[in-house]
Structure 1
Amino acid sequence: MKNKIYLLASLLAVLFFASCDDVYDHVAEPPQSYEQENEQTVNGFSFTLGSDISNAVIFTEDDLMSETPIRVIETTATPEMAEGATLKFVVEASDTEEFTKTVELPSKSDEDNAVITTAYDLNEVVKSLYGKAPNARDIFLRATFYIVDGTTSSLMPNPVVLGPASVTPVAPIIETEYYLIGDINGWNIENLDDYKFDHSGKDVYEDPIFTILVNNVQGYFKIVPKSSKDAASWEGVMGNPIDGNTDLEGDIIIEDSQAMQVTEPGWVKITLNMMEYTYSIEIIGEMALELYVPGGHQGWDPGSAPSLYNRNFDFKYNGFVYFGEDNTEFKFTTERNWDGPAYGDGGDGTLSSDGGNLVASEAGMYKIDVDLSGSPVYSMVKTEWGLIGDATEGGWDNSTPMTYDPETALWTVTTTLGTGEFKFRANDGWDINLGGDINNLSFGADNIPVTEEGTYEISLDLSDSKQFKGTIVKL
């Protein structure tokens, strides 16, 4: 009888909060945080983490394909409810007990008033909270719950909060570096440095794409992950299922892997998608990777001129050139001599092979873009470089300026950095910024971490358009 009186009092209280036909129509705003525990009693109901996640969970591909329900919350005790009444839940997952970041977990209730989901849905929730890396992750669950009796649902005023539960999501192993090996380098696993695939420098599980541009790769090849390169071992070297496969796309495998084959001469772009373990080959043929910039700044010598780089093999070139004096004249050449096309001013930002000299009206370092994919055009922006980020004294609001030395061709600054992150950016704006790997900086790439506070000398070298790089030296 006491249980019935308690339940009646609880129901009268919550009827002021919610009564509706649809369980999900009205969800009360929960408090910001709750005490975490393995079992929790709320409004006379007792709950615990489900038996399927009470121990550490490590998902497999087979788990994700299974329809077997996974119990994530179990109801261990309830007040006496009307015959036929059930509990319904709306469940959120978070990576912290404060529930600052939440993702709804698709779920439903079973006949025992337990919350069930699928391995696939739980796997996706963990990846949404933490990313795709296959590491053990702690998740916390917060469930708003209702008593449903016929067409009436009554929201209980306090949610249940449980956790943490440890879940390891399914994802392939993705290493941070990959290398090409094959006829092009005599199958020498100790000679791979010149055949490294490019990558953005981001988390490999967020950006699993690796690319390499190689000339005259004609012949057989395989893929070497960093771990195999470091060990100088053939164990772990990857290929495809068919020896000598000339298909331009296919699957990457490790066990019993066979070599792929390129039959065409010239430049080739090979792309790896390591999340899907697939490869693709783009036959490009003959095309200049660099465009040279001779002019009054270096004695009109194409042989020693700075260059712009065609980094995406799309006939679009960019890079940085320093002009030491106002009104410096220059041109673009496709060869290290004057034998090939020499592009000059075609008017209104266009280029012409019979045009006059181009002009940099002010001294300084310019970012130059040239597009030869259609009617030739160019643009150039004078740049002044600095540091930006929460590791710098100016935070994310104000750049710390750097100084350019024409003798060393370096931008440098000595400054205090705290722990945090920073990037290089030009002209106190975000149109031109560099980040990612400090030894191979990319436009718009990730922030650069600083793990120790102190005074640092930082440099930025833009002299090689094929590879922008910096240095960070603690003093």
Structure 2
Amino acid sequence: MKKLLYTLGLVCLVAACSEDYTDWADPQSNPSEEPSNVELAVESAAAVDFATVEAETLQLFVPTVTAEEGTTTTYEAILANADGSRTIKIATDENGYALTEEVQAAVESLYGRRPVERIIPVTVIATSTLNSVSVRTQAETTFSATPNAPEIEDVYYLTGSLNGWNNSDTTYELSNGGVDPYENPVFTCTIPAGTGDIEFKVTPKSGLGGDWSKCLTASDVEGKFATNNAGGNLKITAVEGARYYRLTFDMMEQTWSYEALAFTNYIYEIGNETSWGTAHALYSPNADGIYQGYYFLNGEFKFKPNENDWNGDWEYDGDNRIADNGGGNCPGVNPGFYQVDVNLQEMTYAVTEVKSITIVGSHNGWNPADEAMHMTYNQSTGAWEAPLSLNADAVVKFAMNDDWAVSWGGANGDPTAYDNLTQYNGKDLEVKAGTYRIELYISYEGKNRVVFNKF
């Protein structure tokens, strides 16, 4: 009996110790409160025209959060472009207000600066916090905004003393390269200097035909222009020695300037094809800023005004444009022979690959696409070469890329001007019957020549 009581007492003691251990290892506690049943609703804020906004902040959306007492909420907004492919995140305060400059920058980045109302999709993300525990919710709305920018048309024209103040004349066009004027609001035009001062106004395309009300005119501030025909005539004061003037108008900043130009007969291309060591001449017969040459190219290149130094060289300015801006080289091209054109009036360039040159004439029925008469370019000599057998006297020319758009013949109407070929209405070259190895050297007007090596 005593043994049984002892055993029961031991069991009770162990049970009591076990209960005390469990309480110590897993003490009782109250769970942390967290936001529950958080509901977010947002409404559109008032439409904004950035041309009239003066405050440092503006309301992007109107938020309402339903949550337990003591819950705090912060917001951020995500603005999207029209197709949702780009987004920009903006921080806001508890009432949906954001910095005006940040919102304006986002709108312009997503939609451009054209001053038309934009309905912008906005995703609002709310972070609600209670006792260090957070819950995120989101809702959708829209924001209406109009960028701050002047009205800019696609094309403008000079109307003034240089064209008899003819408001319908389109001879002198200001152009930005044909792109969206809100992406590139800088318009340029190059005009002959003539003699004496030049006075003019700038007529938008919509004003041609006698409507002067939208003309750009002189302002009271030097270098600025007025709109809506509000001022007097713009004026170019004659510069001695100038042959042309390049006019530049920034339609966004409403500024203008002119530069006197005195083009030379030659500028130069230089590039990777000669390891940047030898410059190639481009020629302008009329010294009017329009240059051309033909050379082998291989990779990047640039242009410069002087053969033996880099002063004032022109770098790539994007989209086949050049500028003296300290930028990079013009994008590289595949190895090949190219027609190289530069227009310093417009500050543009173009390269056209010469894929073929054909010996064309009476011997092949004047077919410029005759593959049997294609010449081969010899990079080591710089000549286009081909054999030619004539059973009778013939007349020939040389056609580029299987077409008559560019072809070379004798300059000055001379059918024997083998040392002076021109691509401008060249004369058919007279060649006696026989077997020849022809070497054609093409570089620029006045230096193009052909050698008929007779066997």
* TM-score w.r.t. length of structure 2: 0.52
- Determine helix, strand or coil for the equivalent of 2:188: strand
Among 56, 61, 73, which residue is 2:51 paired with?
61
Partner of 2:102: 121
> 1:129, CA displacement in angstroms?
0.7
Structure 1 position 194 matched with structure 2 position 171: yes
Among 40, 46, 55, which residue is 2:40 paired with?
46
Partner of 1:131: 112
Task: Sort the Cα spacing of 1:199 and 1:368 in 2 relative to 1 into closer, same or farther, 3 A.
Answer: closer
Partner of 1:333: none
> 1:179, CA displacement in angstroms?
0.9
Task: Sort the Cα spacing of 1:322 and 1:233 in 2 relative to 1 into closer, same or farther, 3 A.
Answer: farther
- Determine helix, strand or coil for the equivalent of 1:261: strand
- Determine helix, strand or coil for the equivalent of 2:141: strand
> How far apart in 2 are the matches of 1:272 and 1:153?
58
Aligned 1:282-297 pairs, distance under 5 A: 282-284=259-261, 286-288=262-264
Any idea what the Cα deviations from partners look like across 1:337-363, whole Å, max 9, x if unmatched?
A: xxxxxx9x99xxxxxxxxxxxxxxx99
Any idea what the Cα deviations from partners look like across 1:117-142, whole Å, max 9, x if unmatched?
A: 24443332211111111122221112
> 1:74, CA displacement in angstroms?
2.5
> How far apart in 1 are the matches of 2:33 and 2:336?
83
Aligned 1:32-431 pairs, distance under 5 A: 44-52=38-46, 57-63=47-53, 65-67=54-56, 69-82=57-70, 85-96=71-82, 99-109=84-94, 114-148=95-129, 154-158=133-137, 160-191=138-169, 193-216=170-193, 218-229=197-208, 231-242=209-220, 249-265=223-239, 266=242, 267-284=244-261, 286-288=262-264, 318-319=291-292, 365-367=338-340, 382-384=353-355, 404-409=401-406
> 1:77, CA displacement in angstroms?
4.0
The percent of aligned pairs where both chains have the same amino acid is 21
> How far apart in 1 are the matches of 2:219 and 2:97?
40
> How far apart in 2 are the matches of 1:309 and 1:176?
32
> How far apart in 1 are the matches of 2:150 and 2:287?
28
Q: Is the 8 A contact 2:61 2:97 kept in 1?
A: yes
Q: Is the 8 A contact 1:309 1:319 kept in 2?
A: no
> 1:237, CA displacement in angstroms?
0.9
Task: Sort the Cα spacing of 1:406 and 1:75 in 2 relative to 1 into closer, same or farther, 3 A.
Answer: closer
Letter in 2 for 1:49: E
Partner of 2:392: none
Task: Sort the Cα spacing of 1:90 and 1:381 in 2 relative to 1 into closer, same or farther, 3 A.
Answer: same
> How far apart in 1 are the matches of 2:403 and 2:238?
43
Partner of 1:40: none
Task: Sort the Cα spacing of 1:271 and 1:9 in 2 relative to 1 into closer, same or farther, 3 A.
Answer: same
> How far apart in 1 are the matches of 2:85 and 2:133?
26
- Determine helix, strand or coil for the equivalent of 1:175: coil
Q: Is the 8 A contact 1:290 1:310 kept in 2?
A: no
> How far apart in 2 are the matches of 1:234 and 1:75?
49
Task: Sort the Cα spacing of 1:274 and 1:309 in 2 relative to 1 into closer, same or farther, 3 A.
Answer: farther
Q: Is the 8 A contact 1:367 1:383 kept in 2?
A: no
Letter in 2 for 1:366: Q
- Determine helix, strand or coil for the equivalent of 1:87: strand
Task: Sort the Cα spacing of 1:58 and 1:90 in 2 relative to 1 into closer, same or farther, 3 A.
Answer: closer
Task: Sort the Cα spacing of 1:405 and 1:61 in 2 relative to 1 into closer, same or farther, 3 A.
Answer: same
Which contiguous aligned blocks of 4+ residues in structure 1 show a shift greater than 3 angstroms? 7-11, 118-121, 152-155, 288-292, 306-313, 317-323, 362-365, 368-371, 380-385
Letter in 2 for 1:287: F
Question: Mind listing any 5+ residue stretches in structure 2 that lack a counterpart?
Answer: 1-31, 269-281, 297-305, 309-334, 345-350, 357-399, 408-444, 446-455
Any idea what the Cα deviations from partners look like across 1:295-317, whole Å, max 9, x if unmatched?
A: xxxxxxxxxxx96599996xxx6
Letter in 2 for 1:228: G
Q: Is the 8 A contact 1:252 1:278 kept in 2?
A: no
- Determine helix, strand or coil for the equivalent of 2:217: coil
Letter in 2 for 1:103: I
> How far apart in 1 are the matches of 2:249 and 2:402?
39
> 1:206, CA displacement in angstroms?
0.8
> How far apart in 2 are the matches of 1:75 and 1:133?
29
Q: Is the 8 A contact 1:71 1:116 kept in 2?
A: yes
Any idea what the Cα deviations from partners look like across 1:383-404, whole Å, max 9, x if unmatched?
A: 449xxxxxxxxxxxxxxxxx93
Task: Sort the Cα spacing of 1:196 and 1:309 in 2 relative to 1 into closer, same or farther, 3 A.
Answer: farther
> 1:199, CA displacement in angstroms?
1.8
Q: Is the 8 A contact 2:175 2:187 kept in 1?
A: yes
Letter in 2 for 1:178: Y
> 1:208, CA displacement in angstroms?
0.5
Q: Is the 8 A contact 1:106 1:121 kept in 2?
A: no
Letter in 2 for 1:75: P
Higher relative CO (CA 8 A, sep ≥ 6), structure 1 or 2?
1
Q: Is the 8 A contact 1:47 1:73 kept in 2?
A: no
Higher radius of gyration, 1 or 2: 2
